[in-house]
Amino acid sequence: MTYSDHFQLADNYLNHIDSVIGAIADPFLQSRYSGFLAVSAVTVYELAIKTIFMNFAVGKHKVLASFASEYFDRINGRIKIDVLKKDYVKKFGEKYVTKFDRKLDAKESELLRAEHTSLKTCYGNIVTWRHSFVHEGIVPVHATYDEVKKSYHYGKNVIHCLAEAMRR
């Protein structure tokens, strides 16, 4: 399985929600759907991240694969960009952190120029919104369904940059 296969889970959920969200007039219910979308987004991000690191480890050595399997089984929501760099990528070597930083910065610049959107901010927002929804039962009022959806799609770029950086 490739890491990007995991995105299909949230994409399918998103397609379903898109078909019903317009008919929902209650702002509370809309915010719940936004919260569930944030949870789905971060869940598939976690699965994709685990797959990236597992595929890398398996390609290196079976002992590393065994370690990675145990280590990445416990990331549960700990996927902010700084955590990815310092707690995960760095364990495989500083050169991978440098590659990840370069790829992230390049994609960030590209999206800022072309679409006036920060992938780092979008990714950070979706992780924060998921945390707020799961642990406090709230989605910030300024996070509309469309903003959560947009952040999910832009946030995928962080995962793509990670996958590119973790190639030998």
**DSSP 3-state assignment of 139?**
coil
Residue length of the chain? 168
**Could you tell me the pTM of the whole model?**
0.93
Backbone phi, psi, residue 146, to 5°: -65, -35
Torsion of CA 154, 159, 160, 164, to 10 degrees: 150
d(CA 70, CA 106): 32
* pLDDT per residue as tens digits for the range 125-156: 999 999 999 998 887 677 889 999 999 999 99
Number of compact structural domains in the chain: 1
Domain range for 114 is 3-165
d(CA 57, CA 157): 22
